[in-house]
Amino acid sequence: MSSNTSVEATTEETKESPLTEVFSQMREDGCEFFLSLKLKPTVEIPDDGFQQEWPADSQRIQDLVISMFYGMTGDRITTSERDFLMALLREECRKGGRRCIEAESQETDKDVIVQAVLYHVNKNGSFTGRTVDLVKALHEVQKSGQISEAESVPVFTNIFSRRLRRLVPVLRGYGVAVTMAHKEEGSHCTLEQLESFKREPLADDIQAKASGSSSDATTRQGKDLPPTDDSDGENRVDLPISKRQTAASEESTVTETCQESQVTSDLKGGA
């Protein structure tokens, strides 16, 4: 048998190997392979109720590989076979691109560039132009107090560009596609809203709405209100029962006094 025939036979055996069948079954089950922002090979298991994103070299992934191999063949996987399959998984993760995993999301949520870009896109929509102009616009956003001031947006365009490039998968996760290119006049950048982008109400919008509602309420106050009773529309305040009784008694006394005075006056007039 020639060397070429031997290689072809070995390749065919590899294609039909239970190892590759395990790998194929993981794909059919919906597992995804990619790199985290820190370039760590990661496997996502969609049906895992406890945690879905796992490092490719974690015990969870190794246990999954071993159990799937045993379920398919009825045999225990050898150490060399397991190492070979784990190498395939890691390489497949490198082909899957970069994503922001949940464990990294807390850090990226606080990133000043992420906050500034999301605010800018949320308010103004897409952006296309020089990167230096984008940096100026994001600085204005931060100066206005709309985002965190714990860290400043990088002043130098080259530093900003490097950081923005690393945050591309993060921003895509928020629904913003970032494209960067170098032209004769310098670095250019494009921010584009994706269908997954969710616009949120801005602080200015909320304040304007609240101010408008308050103004309308002030304008309507005291107008077109029905009278408080059925008499003349004057406002009246009900007194407590004890005070009403006292007032009624005083009114009765005054009435009797007036009647007596009237009788006395009539008698004198008759005399």
Enclosing H/E stretch for 55: strand 53-55
- pLDDT of res. 135: 93
Residue 243 lies in a domain: no
Partners of residue 143 on adjacent β-strands: none
> Could you list the residue range(s) of the whole structural domain that residue 152 is in?
110-193
Query: Do 74 and 56 have their domain in common?
Result: yes
Query: Do 89 and 134 have their domain in common?
Result: no
- pLDDT of res. 10: 44
From first to last of the 271 residues of the chain, give the pLDDT tens digit: 454 544 444 444 444 577 888 888 888 889 989 888 788 899 989 888 778 889 999 999 999 999 999 988 888 989 998 898 899 899 999 998 887 777 666 667 778 888 899 999 999 888 999 999 999 999 998 988 888 888 889 989 999 998 898 888 888 888 899 999 988 888 999 999 988 888 888 665 555 555 555 555 554 555 555 555 555 555 555 555 555 555 556 566 555 555 555 645 555 555 4
Query: Do 26 and 99 have their domain in common?
Result: yes
Query: Do 90 and 121 have their domain in common?
Result: no
Query: Do 120 and 77 have their domain in common?
Result: no
Query: Do 119 and 100 have their domain in common?
Result: no
- CATH classification of the domain holding 121: 3.90.1150
Quickly list DSSP for 111-164.
-HHHHHHHHHHHHH--EEEEHHHHHHHHHHHHHTTSS--SSPPPSSHHHHHHHH
Residue 255 lies in a domain: no
Query: Do 123 and 93 have their domain in common?
Result: no
Residue 199 lies in a domain: no
- pLDDT of res. 223: 53
- pLDDT of res. 8: 47
Q: Tell me which of 104, 121, 156 is where a domain ends.
A: 104
Query: Do 17 and 91 have their domain in common?
Result: yes
What is the rounded distance in angstroms from the CA atom of residue 66 to the CA atom of residue 83? 11
> Residue 103: CB partners within 8 Å, gap ≥ 6?
36, 53
Query: Do 56 and 137 have their domain in common?
Result: no
Residue 235 lies in a domain: no
Residue 126 lies in a domain: yes
Residue 220 lies in a domain: no
Query: Do 17 and 97 have their domain in common?
Result: yes
pLDDT tens column, 84-132 = 889 989 999 999 888 777 766 666 777 888 889 999 999 988 899 999 9
Residue 202 lies in a domain: no
Q: Tell me which of 169, 193, 217 is where a domain ends.
A: 193
Q: Look at the chain and report how many structural domains it folds into.
A: 2
Query: Do 119 and 143 have their domain in common?
Result: yes
- pLDDT of res. 15: 45
Residue 250 lies in a domain: no
Query: Do 98 and 14 have their domain in common?
Result: yes
- pLDDT of res. 178: 92
pLDDT tens column, 251-271 = 665 555 555 556 455 555 554
Q: Tell me which of 193, 228, 252 is where a domain ends.
A: 193
Q: Which of 102, 110, 240 is nearest to 173 (CA)?
A: 102
